[in-house]
Amino acid sequence: MRGTDLRELLARLEDAPAPEPSAVFVAKLEGELRTMDRTIEAEGSRPRRARLLAAAGPVAALTAAAAAAAATLLPSDPHPRQVKTADPGVTAPAPPPEAPSSSVPIPTTVVVAPPWLPPVTAPVPPTTAVARSATPEPAPRPAEHTAPTAAPPHEAVTTTVPHETTTTTPPYETLTLQCSAGMSAGNPTVFCSWSQSGSPSFKWYRLWRESAGSPLAIVFQSDNRPTTGYYDHTVQASTNYYYKVDITDAAGNVIGSSSIAPVSCC
């Protein structure tokens, strides 16, 4: 390469001016991202069937449970079994044929709101789950347990929903939160501590903060259960802040929260 060294060329490329993306492009892409369903590709380690069921949502889960019941009743069905979901283009495959129908594991499929919808931080309605598990579920609280509808005894019953198929509600956990303001290395700081979650479904702590003129925001998030405190160094003096901590499960459902802790800084 006479007269032109490759490294110089690369350096020129490195320093070459690049135009800013157009505002229209940036806004359009952000809008597309906000409406994008990522559940299908989100967790590559999960079995494809579980991912499809999660993406298909409640109808698929319920239909899969019904299909499992049908497989139990009709083990000699010669036709390939497929579960058609209500979501166009998404088909949840039937259980592997080699698995005995009596022990076909149906992954616990929690019916949740789509992940792109903002989570609800107020006490949420009980999360409905359709589960069939080899291990018995902990006894749900009676007030929140929806008993399966049983057919009246005088009616002829031709199919039976397996007794394992049930609706459970994880208990809503109440956390305690304490926040105090002070100065740290000359900077205003708020320290928040909260009680450790004991929920078996725990996945995330989320510490929220709001102040006058500043929108509600997550200031800290951790998936480490023993982490029960956070120093917030992004506060300003002479400002009132309101904190709240909540916990979510792996699907993003809010499964517990604290009351609001006001603090005046600093």
Partner 1 sequence: MSLAASLPVLVADGIDERGLAQAASTSPDAFAVLYRRHVGPIHAFAYRRSGSREVAEEVTSATFERAWRAMPSFEWRGGGFKAWLFAIAARELAGWYRRNARSGNDRAQRALRLLHTDVIDEEHERVSAEDEQALVREALSTLPQRYQEAISLRHFAGLDPDEAAAAMGCTKAVLAVTLHRATKALRRAIERRRSVDEGN
Q: Which residues bind partner 1 (CB under 8 A)?
A: 1-4, 6-7, 9-14, 16, 18-21, 25-26, 29-30, 32-34, 36, 38, 40-45, 115-116, 118-122, 204, 206, 208, 210, 214-223, 234, 242, 244, 248, 252, 260
- Specify whether the CB–CB gap between 119 and 132 falls below 8 A: no
Give the tokens for residue 124.
Answer: 């949420």
**Residue nearer to partner 1 on the CB measure, 166 or 228:** 228
Output the smallest distance, CB 122 to partner 1, in A: 5
**Residue nearer to partner 1 on the CB measure, 172 or 208:** 208
Contacts of 210 by beta carbon, 8 Å cutoff, 6+ apart: 216, 217, 241, 242
**Residue nearer to partner 1 on the CB measure, 31 or 148:** 31
Output the smallest distance, CB 25 to partner 1, in A: 5
Output the smallest distance, CB 247 to partner 1, in A: 12
Angstrom distance (rounded) from CA 208 to CA 187:
20
**Residue nearer to partner 1 on the CB measure, 40 or 183:** 40
Torsion of CA 91, 97, 100, 106, to 10 degrees: -20
**Residue nearer to partner 1 on the CB measure, 91 or 121:** 121
Q: Say which DSSP state 117 is in.
A: S
Angstrom distance (rounded) from CA 194 to CA 219:
14
Output the smallest distance, CB 102 to partner 1, in A: 33
- Specify whether the CB–CB gap between 226 and 190 falls below 8 A: no
